[in-house]
Amino acid sequence: MLNLLNNTIVFKWIDKLINFINSIFFVFLLAALSFALIFSPPDYLQSETVRIMYVHVPSAWIGLAAFSVIALLSILNFIFKMKYSNLITKSIAPLGLMFTCLAIVTGSIWAQPTWGTWWAWDARLTSMVILALFYILFIISNKMILEDDKANKVSSIIAIIGFINIPVIKYSVEWWNTLHQPASIKFLQSNSIHSSMMIPLLLMFLALLLYCALIFLMKYKTEIIKIKKKNLKRL
Amino acid sequence: MLPKNVKKRASLLTIFLSFSILAIFLILKSLNNNILYFKSPTEIKNSEDINFAKKIRIGGMVKKDTLRVSRSEILFIITDYKNEIKISYSGTVPNLFSEEKGVVAEGKLQDKNFFIADRILAKHDENYMPPELKDKIKKNVK
């Protein structure tokens, strides 16, 4: 497992992957954006405002997914002491924070014309802010604590505690009365979003995922280089 | 089999996590009334200790054919299909505010059936569809 994570062969593969994603990302993004902004129909009720959703919803998904990945890796790291898993979590965290903030900001811009307010302290919005705070705590603990082992431990514990927030975010709209609407896309049930809007939404999600993969790989690469440099100094 | 220290850490983590989940569950449960962003007319009717001086939020659907707009105020009825409350409001309303749509009113209760709002928020539902489809559905219903 350790060999898989930190190895010169993997290092070469990262470069190849970065090149590959670079070659398809912009085309994909252009296609997804033109579907989302031009070809998809306006909503029957909110008309053109609905287009914010094509950024808002994928960002929120990525924000949640990224934190789940960080938390799961932190659990593995805590139990099995996987040496280099913190390189991965460190590289994911800034991306997750960015997309969480993006979801909050786009949501706020959407809320002003639709709800009539920029912000409401309902359960969904508040729990998203808590998620952003956990991201910030995680990143700060990695940056401020200078000893690697200790930083690793503290940040994994933060991620594990923050993991409890994830189901709270997901189900906040069902457990409590919130201003935020419930999910339109459900597992095992029919969606309450029309397919002409579903397709651009999924395309945008894939485009943003590609972007995440690209930035993650670049960051992961620099983290590996940093480690290698450190080991060189030790020699 | 797993080494002993791995097992130890795993069980430590399990205990830690289950306790913190329990703690957070209890906190959320005790705060339940504050987490609710709004109350429904039924909850207002059933609650016994209402503070009429305090600002609260009431949410539900704007009842069909009850929206009256005059020069000085907007009158309508919020319903959750069991109980209803009359709302009086003067000011601007959000774009999505209309009959048979979700709404949250912020203001003070005068009595259990009458509410003076000083802010109106529209609640959007989870349905997204193009306008042509909506027209078709309407035709089918008629």
| pLDDT tens digits in sequence order for chain A, 235 residues long | 455 555 567 788 888 999 999 999 999 999 999 999 988 888 888 888 889 999 999 999 999 999 999 999 999 988 888 777 888 999 999 999 999 999 999 999 999 888 888 998 889 999 999 999 999 999 999 999 988 889 999 999 999 999 999 999 999 988 888 889 888 887 767 778 888 888 999 999 999 999 999 999 999 999 888 888 877 766 5
C-alpha of B88 from chain center: 18
Which among A17, A24, A51, A49 is positioned nearest to A35, based on CA atoms?
A: A51
At residue B22 the predicted structure's pLDDT band, cuts being 50, 70 and 90, is very high
Q: Which stretch of DSSP H or E encloses residue A9?
A: helix A8-34
Pseudo-torsion of CA A140, A142, A147, A150, nearest 10°?
100
Which residue has better confidence, B94 or A63? Answer: A63
A193 close to B (CB below 8 A): yes
User: Which CATH number is correct for B37-123, 2.40.50.140, 2.40.50.660, 1.10.3210.10, 3.10.20.90?
Assistant: 2.40.50.140
Smallest CA–CA distance from B126 into chain A, residue: A184
Query: What would the mean pLDDT of B114-134 be, rounded to a whole number?
Result: 84
When mean pLDDT is compared across A116-120, A173-177, B47-51, B60-64, the lowest value belongs to: B47-51
When scoring A35, A38, A44, A164 by the number of chain B Cβ atoms within 10 A, the one with the most, hence best to mutate, is A44
- Give the Å distances, CA to CA, from A78 to A4, A165, A192, A203: 19, 19, 40, 36
The verdict on B94 touching A (C-beta cutoff 8 Å) is yes
CB contact under 8 A, B36 and A176: yes
- Least Cα separation, residue B110 to chain A (angstroms): 23
Break chain B into its structural domains and give their ranges: 4-33, 37-123
Across chain B, mean pLDDT equals 85
**pTM (whole model) above 0.90:** no
Which tokens hold the place of B123?
């609640």
Interchain contact B3–A (C-beta under 8 A): no
Query: Chain A residue closest to B43 (CA)?
Result: A177
Q: How many CA atoms lie within 13 A of A17 on its CB side?
A: 17
The angle that helices A148-163 and A85-114 make with each other, rounded to 10 degrees, is 40
Give the gap in angstroms from C-alpha A172 to the nearest C-alpha of chain B. 10
- To which residue do tokens 């059933």 refer? B46
Rounded Cα distance, A36 and A43, in Å: 12
Tally: H helices and E strands in chain B: 4, 6
Nearest Cα of chain A lies from the Cα of B16 at a distance, in angstroms, of 9
How much is the average pLDDT of B52-66?
A: 87
Other C-beta atoms within 10 Å of B41: how many?
Answer: 23
**Hey, what are A232's tokens?**
């060189």
A contacts of B32 (beta carbons < 8 Å) = 176
Distance CA A95, CA A59 (A): 10
Confidence check: pLDDT of B141 > 70:
no
The token pair at A96 is 């997750």
Angle ∠(A96,A29,A128) on CA atoms, nearest 5 = 25
Q: Which one, of B114, B67, B112, lies nearest residue B93 by Cα?
A: B67
d(CA A204, CA A37): 11
User: A25 to each of A54, A81, A95, A209, B84, how far by Cα in Å?
Assistant: 17, 35, 17, 10, 53
- CB within 8 Å: A79 and B10: yes
Query: Residue A47 gets which letter from DSSP?
Result: B
Q: Give the pLDDT of residue A130.
A: 95
Q: What is the pLDDT of residue B91?
A: 84
- Taking CA A72 as the corner, what is the angle to CA B19 and CA A168, rounded to the nearest 5 degrees? 55
pLDDT of residue A41: 86
Compute the distance between CA of residue A163 and CA of residue B1 in angstroms, rounded to an integer.
28
Which residues in chain B have Cβ-Cβ distances shorter than 8 Å to A160?
Answer: 13, 16-17
Tell me which chain B residues have a C-beta less than 8 angstroms from the C-beta of A78: 9, 13
Provide, rounded to the nearest whole percent, the portion of chain B with pLDDT above 90.
6
Shortest Cα distance, chain A CAs vs residue B111, angstroms: 22
Asked if A50 has any chain B CB less than 8 Å from its own CB, the reply is yes
